[in-house]
Amino acid sequence: MKKLIGILLALALAVVAWWFSGPYLAVHGLSKAIEQRDTAKLERYVDFPRVRSSLRAQLNDYLVRQAGPDVAASPFGALLYGLGDQLGGAAVDTMVTPTGIGAMLQGHVLWKRGRNELQGGDAFGATEPARPLKNAEHHFEALDRFVVDVQRGPGEPPMRVVLEPQGLRWKVVDLQLGMSGSP
């Protein structure tokens, strides 16, 4: 009987350890995928349809807040808002894909090369890898919600990367950009 209780206790501890280490392992894998510019690996850690949906909603909210109530109430404003929604949504749909992220990471390489941020100072060497999650702070908001706060710059609100479990993996399901709505 003691052996069965010991096995059940060990199993329960293993499940708890797996659950609470999952988001940390996902953040580590996500960081490595970004550093290595591996879009296939990145796809394992990001739920792209949910992230696109969230970013579209944030962009639409930002545009409405920036336009103000007077523009949104006018017929011409509604037309402009609809056009902005279509263009912004198309941009989000194009960029928030594994291919779009890969293009942004390649742009990052060109930017680093142009700024002479090279490993070892060698003009033909590799550039310093992107490490956006290097100094990020992370914590559980709930048992099924893990948040990574990425500082963007002084005086700017952090970007929040939200992970939730999907099956046996934790995935990024939301990017909260913290766009200010005040004009």
Q: d(Cα 145, Cα 138) in Å, to the nearest integer?
A: 11
Q: d(Cα 88, Cα 103) in Å, to the nearest integer?
A: 18
Written as tens digits, the pLDDT of the chain (183 aa) is 888 898 999 999 988 888 888 999 999 998 888 888 788 888 899 998 998 888 888 887 787 777 777 766 677 666 666 766 666 666 677 677 777 776 665 555 555 555 566 656 655 566 566 667 777 888 999 999 999 998 877 777 888 889 999 988 999 999 888 775 444
Which DSSP helix (H) or strand (E) runs through 29? helix 2-35
Q: d(Cα 120, Cα 126) in Å, to the nearest integer?
A: 9
Q: Are strands 159-166 and 169-176 parallel, antiparallel or unpaired?
A: antiparallel
pTM > 0.85: no
32 neighbors 41 (Cβ within 8 angstroms): yes
